[in-house]
């Protein structure tokens, strides 16, 4: 029996291509994307973009007919011992960027911890901070997308579910990243996490990784079960964003880089998986 066709909205992290938004836009459009995920522009992270730069970026995107799928903020990529108000204040700055770029999605994380600090010991502090961020998001009518990331509390499917269900806010949802799960030792991300997180899953980030080395590779070339996740989302009626975040050249705490050529390689690999699954993009 043939599965029903699905259409998802293709996007990608512009700063994985080039610091210049004009180059970011040109490459994404050449790959068939009409949306961009904004993490930085002109080398400036979104949390530090001033009003003038934000307005300039909005004008470039509007002029090119590009929508913004999400603002990829660094909120929550700080030690959990930082005061609650520290990240709430930074989120308020990012909210101005999100509103100016007309997106309701802001990517966030669930806090680093000091070396040797047991992850379980940070749970209460993490939940207090995630609740404060969710409260701010609710007031601003935006949705925070928690990304599973290395070295934060919400790195495994079980702890991601713990955060989302314990906070219990409609403004806190899941951005699924197969590669990051692999890199923290989740051997089979789809098998181990999809059923647990599907009801909370709002956004798909596209990259893959090899379990033996942790190396990031194009979608379908690693151990992230990306094809299985695509098929399951298709069958579940997912119609949201799929955002390319290849990390094929380098990765660092606040992001990564691929360059135009490698970014195109990643896009074509993902397009091949989508074609096999009968999923189209717009």
pLDDT tens digits, one per residue of 132-176: 999 999 999 999 999 999 999 999 999 999 999 999 999 999 999
d(C-alpha 131, C-alpha 57), whole Å: 31
d(C-alpha 170, C-alpha 138), whole Å: 8
Sketch out the chain's domains with CATH numbers.
Answer: 9-277 (3.20.20.150)
| 3-state SS string for 8-61 | EEEEEEHHHCCCCHHHHHHHHHHCCCCEEEECEECCEEHHHCCHHHHHHHHHHH
Q: What is the structure's pLDDT at 98? A: 98
d(C-alpha 49, C-alpha 51), whole Å: 7
Q: Which residues contact 22 (CB under 8 A, 6 or more apart)?
A: 60
Q: What are phi and psi of 260, to 5 degrees?
A: -60, -40
Label the pairing between strands 279-281 and 6-12. parallel
Angle separating helix axes 21-30 and 259-277, nearest 10 degrees? 30
- The CA distances from residue 204 to 66, 148, 178, 217, in Å, are 19, 11, 9, 16
pLDDT tens for each residue of 111-120: 999 999 999 9
pLDDT tens for each residue of 48-91: 999 999 999 999 999 999 999 999 999 999 999 999 999 999 99
pLDDT tens for each residue of 225-268: 999 999 999 999 999 999 999 988 765 455 566 789 999 999 99
> Residue 182 corresponds to which tokens in the numbers above?
């692999």
Q: What is the mean pLDDT of residues 105-125?
A: 98
Q: Which residues contact 123 (CB under 8 A, 6 or more apart)?
A: 153, 162
Nearest of 93, 166, 159, 90 to residue 127 by alpha carbon: 166
d(C-alpha 50, C-alpha 96), whole Å: 9
Cβ neighbour number for residue 120 with a 10 Å cutoff: 9
Tokens 């701010």 -> residue: 136
Q: What is the structure's pLDDT at 225? A: 98
d(C-alpha 88, C-alpha 90), whole Å: 5
Q: What is the mean pLDDT of residues 88-116?
A: 98
Q: What is the mean pLDDT of residues 272-278?
A: 97
Q: What is the structure's pLDDT at 258? A: 75
Q: What is the structure's pLDDT at 248? A: 81
**For residues 110 and 1, which has the higher predicted lDDT (pLDDT)?**
110
């Amino acid at each position: 029996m043939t599965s029903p066709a699905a259409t998802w909205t293709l996007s990608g992290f512009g700063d994985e291509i080039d610091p210049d938004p004009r180059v970011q836009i040109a490459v994404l459009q050449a790959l068939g994307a009409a949306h961009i995920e904004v993490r930085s522009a002109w080398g400036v992270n979104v949390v530090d973009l001033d009003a003038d730069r934000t307005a300039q970026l909005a004008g470039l995107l509007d002029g090119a007919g590009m929508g913004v799928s999400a603002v990829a903020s660094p909120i929550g990529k700080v030690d959990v011992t930082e005061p609650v108000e520290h990240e709430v204040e930074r989120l308020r700055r990012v909210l101005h960027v999100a509103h100016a770029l007309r997106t309701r999605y802001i990517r966030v994380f669930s806090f680093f911890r000091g070396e040797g600090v047991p992850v379980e010991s940070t749970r209460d502090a993490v939940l207090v901070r995630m609740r404060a961020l969710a409260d701010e998001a609710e007031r601003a009518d935006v949705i925070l997308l928690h990304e599973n990331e290395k070295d934060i509390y919400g790195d495994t499917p079980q702890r991601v579910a713990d955060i989302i269900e314990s906070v219990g806010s409609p403004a806190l949802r899941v951005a699924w990243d197969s590669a990051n799960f692999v890199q923290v030792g989740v051997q089979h991300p789809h098998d181990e996490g999809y059923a647990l997180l599907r009801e909370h899953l709002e956004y798909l980030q596209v990259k893959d990784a090899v379990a033996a080395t942790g190396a990031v590779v194009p979608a379908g070339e690693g151990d992230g079960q990306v094809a299985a996740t695509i098929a399951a989302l298709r069958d579940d009626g997912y119609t949201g964003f799929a955002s390319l975040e290849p990390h094929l050249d380098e990765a660092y705490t606040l992001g990564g880089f691929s360059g135009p050529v490698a970014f195109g390689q990643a896009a074509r690999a993902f397009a091949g998986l989508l074609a096999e699954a009968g999923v189209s993009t717009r």
